[in-house]
């Protein structure tokens, strides 16, 4: 069994895979990580290999505990992956984006794929049917937009995301919800159309913490998969293990 660890900006996700199937998953805050991590590991004594992707911050004690849990691969820009990285600055490509592209290549062979990850930021990543990755886009995520309106103005309140009642907001709160949510929906729909104009037979994947919230309001044909990054990490681990076996 494989242990998959995704350390994000807001949460840490743990998953146990057997081949391509998720057997268990847990999402936790970075606070009290050690206690929760040890409890999770104790339930799965047969874990042999693992992979970790980290764009967030854990303590040295946390990282040491993770590395001792099993034979752990720490994903970085030099890790062998099953796609051609044609990004102009490959060393600056986020490892979370690398994992998402690997998931696309693994699940959608010989297809053009656009992956939209709606998390702290919204990232757009495009990989061709020939497994060539060129890049995509990055914009502020749902919560960042709400926080920005509160942080950079004197009187606008900090709100939690809410589905707008209509495009015309009849109060300050309603106007904020309309501006933020419809702004993101229009952005996603507009980007999808731009990619579809350029690339035929485009498969679109929506993932990330806000994917469920946004998917219910999108008109485009989009596959929603909240585990896509975890699946990508697992595919990278399998790819590297198969390479070791061949050698």
Residues serving a catalytic function are 96
The span from the CA of 19 to the CA of 31, in Å, is 30
232 is in an annotated binding site: no
What SS3 state is found at 225? Answer: coil
227 is in an annotated binding site: no
Q: Is 19 exposed, middle or buried (0-12, 13-18, 19+ CB in 10 A)?
A: exposed
11 is in an annotated binding site: yes
95 is in an annotated binding site: yes
Q: Which two tokens stand for residue 47?
A: 């874990």
The span from the CA of 142 to the CA of 224, in Å, is 17
201 is in an annotated binding site: no
12 is in an annotated binding site: yes
The span from the CA of 36 to the CA of 50, in Å, is 17
Report whether 14 contacts 28 (CB < 8 A): yes
The span from the CA of 124 to the CA of 213, in Å, is 17
What's the distance, CA 182 to chain centroid?
22
96 is in an annotated binding site: yes
136 is in an annotated binding site: no
9 is in an annotated binding site: yes
Annotated binding-site residues read 6-13, 87, 94-97, 117, 120, 172
Annotated binding-site residues for K(+) read 117
Annotated binding-site residues for ATP read 6-13, 120
Annotated binding-site residues for substrate read 87, 94-97, 172
């Amino acid at each position: 069994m494989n242990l998959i660890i995704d350390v994000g900006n807001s949460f840490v996700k743990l998953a146990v895979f057997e081949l391509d199937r998720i057997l268990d998953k847990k999402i936790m805050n970075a606070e009290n990580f050690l206690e929760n991590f040890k409890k999770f590991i104790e339930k799965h004594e047969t874990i042999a290999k693992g992979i970790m992707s980290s764009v967030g911050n854990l303590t040295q004690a946390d990282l040491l505990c993770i590395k001792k849990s099993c034979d752990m691969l720490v994903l970085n820009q030099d890790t062998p992956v099953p796609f051609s990285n044609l990004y102009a600055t490959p060393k600056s490509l986020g490892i979370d984006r690398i994992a998402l592209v690997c998931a696309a290549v693994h699940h959608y062979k010989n297809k053009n794929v656009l992956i939209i990850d709606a998390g702290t930021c919204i990232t757009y990543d495009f990989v061709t049917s020939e497994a060539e990755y060129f890049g995509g886009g990055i914009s502020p995520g749902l919560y960042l937009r709400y926080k920005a309106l509160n942080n950079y103005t004197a009187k606008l309140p900090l709100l939690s995301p809410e589905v707008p009642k209509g495009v015309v907001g009849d109060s300050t709160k309603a106007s904020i919800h309309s501006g933020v949510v419809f702004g993101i929906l229009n952005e996603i729909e507009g980007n999808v159309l731009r990619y579809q104009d350029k690339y035929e037979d485009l498969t679109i994947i929506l993932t990330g913490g806000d994917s469920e919230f946004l998917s219910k309001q999108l008109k485009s044909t989009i596959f929603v998969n909240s585990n896509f990054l975890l699946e990508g990490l697992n595919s990278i681990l399998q790819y590297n293990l198969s390479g070791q076996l061949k050698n």
